[in-house]
Structure 1
Amino acid sequence: MTDSHDCGDPNRRTVLQAIGAGAIGTAGALGGSGLGSADHGGEHYYNPLYEPHFPDPEVHRADDGTWWAYGTNMNRENTDDELLVPVLSSTDLVNWTYEGEAFDARPGWTEGSIWAPNIHYYNDEWIMFYSLEPRPWESGEFGIGLATSDTPRGPFTDHGQVIGDSDTGGGTIDAYFVEYQGTPYLFWGSFQGIYVAELTPDLRDVDMATVTQVAGDAYEGTIHYERNGYHYLFVSTGTCCEGHSSTYEYEVGRSTDFFGPYVDQNGIDLMEYNEYNQGTPVLTGTDRFPGAAHGDITTYDDGSEWLLYHAYDATDPEFIDGVPRRVLMMDRIDWENGWPVIGCDGTPSEVSPVPGSGTHCGDNGGDGPLSAGTYRISNVNSGLLLEVGDADTTEGATVNQWSDTGHPCQEWELIEHDDGTYRLENVHSGHVLSVADGSTSEGASLVQRAWGDAADQRWRLIEGDGSYRLENGASGYVADVLEASTDDGADVVQWSWLDGDNQRWNFDPV
Structure 2
Amino acid sequence: MLSTSPVAAPRGANPARRHCLRLLLLLLWCGAAPRAHALQGLTGVHDPSTIVKQGNTYWVFATGQGIYSLYSTDLVNWTPGPRAVFVNNAYPGWINTKVPGFAGNFWAPECVFQNGKYYLYYSCSTFGSKVSAIGLATNVTLDPASPSYNWVDEGEVISTNANSPVNAIDPAVYRDASNNLWMTYGSYFGGIRTVQLDAATGKPLAGATQNAVANGDVEAAYVARRGAFYYLFINRGTCCQGISSTYRILVGRSASPAGPFLDQNGVDLNANGGTLLLSGAGRYRGPGHTGIFEENGATYFSHHYYDSYDNGAPKLGLAQLTWSAAGWPVVSRDWLGPASGTGAAGRFTIAAGPAASNLVWQSQGCTGAAGQAIVQATPAAGTCQQWDFTALGNGDYKITSALGGLAAGTANCSDANFALLQLGTYTGQDCQQFHLDRASDGSLVLAALSSNRVVEVPFASTAPGAQLGIFDYNGCACQHWFVTPVGTTTATAGSARLAGVSLYPVPAERGAFTVDLGPLPNAEATTVTVTDLLGKVVYCRRYGPQQRQLAVAAGLAPGIYQVRVQRGAASLTQKQTVQ
Larger radius of gyration: 1
2:409, 2:60 → 1: CA distance?
40
- For residues 314-344 of structure 1, give each alpha carbon's deviation from its aligned partner in whole angstroms, at most 9, with x where no partner exists: 221324xxxxx3234232333331111112x
- For residues 204-262 of structure 1, give each alpha carbon's deviation from its aligned partner in whole angstroms, at most 9, with x where no partner exists: 45757611101112321111111111111111222221112222222111111121111
1:50, 1:363 → 2: CA distance?
27
Q: 1:173: how far off?
A: 0.9
2:127, 2:436 → 1: CA distance?
44
Aligned to 2:270: 271
1:423, 1:477 → 2: CA distance?
17
1:432, 1:205 → 2: CA distance?
56
* Distance change >3 Å, CA 217–CA 365, structure 1 → 2: farther
- 8 Å contact from structure 2 (residues 106, 122) kept in 1: yes
Aligned to 1:53: 44
| Contiguous gaps of at least 5 residues in structure 1 | 1-28, 36-44, 75-81, 320-324, 354-360, 377-407, 439-447, 463-468, 480-494, 505-510
2:324, 2:156 → 1: CA distance?
38
Amino acid at match of 1:52: T
Amino acid at match of 1:203: G
2:408, 2:120 → 1: CA distance?
51
Amino acid at match of 1:186: M
Q: 1:56: how far off?
A: 2.1
Matched, 1:178 2:183: no
1:144, 1:72 → 2: CA distance?
14
* Distance change >3 Å, CA 93–CA 460, structure 1 → 2: closer
Aligned counterparts, 1:90-109, within 5 A: 90=73, 92-100=74-82, 101-104=84-87, 105-108=90-93, 109=95
* Distance change >3 Å, CA 189–CA 458, structure 1 → 2: same
1:217, 1:207 → 2: CA distance?
28
Aligned counterparts, 1:224-373, within 5 A: 224-273=223-272, 279-302=274-297, 304-319=298-313, 325-343=314-332, 348-349=333-334, 366-368=348-350
- For residues 174-199 of structure 1, give each alpha carbon's deviation from its aligned partner in whole angstroms, at most 9, with x where no partner exists: 10123444544321011231101233
SS of the equivalent of 1:315 reads helix
* Distance change >3 Å, CA 206–CA 130, structure 1 → 2: farther
- 8 Å contact from structure 2 (residues 171, 184) kept in 1: yes
Aligned length: 373
* Distance change >3 Å, CA 128–CA 432, structure 1 → 2: closer
- 8 Å contact from structure 1 (residues 313, 327) kept in 2: no
Aligned counterparts, 1:84-95, within 5 A: 84-90=67-73, 92-95=74-77
| Contiguous gaps of at least 5 residues in structure 2 | 8-35, 97-101, 144-148, 338-342, 353-359, 375-383, 414-422, 438-444, 455-469, 480-579
Aligned counterparts, 1:107-186, within 5 A: 107-108=92-93, 109-110=95-96, 111-112=102-103, 113-134=105-126, 141-153=131-143, 154-166=149-161, 168-180=164-176, 181=178, 183-186=180-183
1:417, 1:244 → 2: CA distance?
29
1:149, 1:183 → 2: CA distance?
21
Q: 1:102: how far off?
A: 2.7
Matched, 1:210 2:209: yes
- 8 Å contact from structure 1 (residues 55, 71) kept in 2: no
Q: 2:389 aligns with which of 414, 417, 441?
A: 417
1:222, 1:194 → 2: CA distance?
7
Higher relative contact order (CA 8 A, sep 6+): 1
- 8 Å contact from structure 2 (residues 235, 249) kept in 1: yes
* Distance change >3 Å, CA 30–CA 372, structure 1 → 2: farther
TM-score computed with the length of structure 2 as normaliser: 0.53
> What is the aligned-residue identity percentage?
25
Q: 2:433 aligns with which of 454, 458, 472?
A: 458
Amino acid at match of 1:306: Y
Aligned to 1:195: 193
Q: CA RMSD in A?
A: 4.8
1:49, 1:207 → 2: CA distance?
45
User: Which one has a larger percent strand, Structure 1 or Structure 2?
Assistant: 2
SS of the equivalent of 2:308 reads coil
Q: 1:306: how far off?
A: 2.2
TM-score computed with the length of structure 1 as normaliser: 0.59
Aligned counterparts, 1:488-503, within 5 A: none
1:310, 1:496 → 2: CA distance?
26
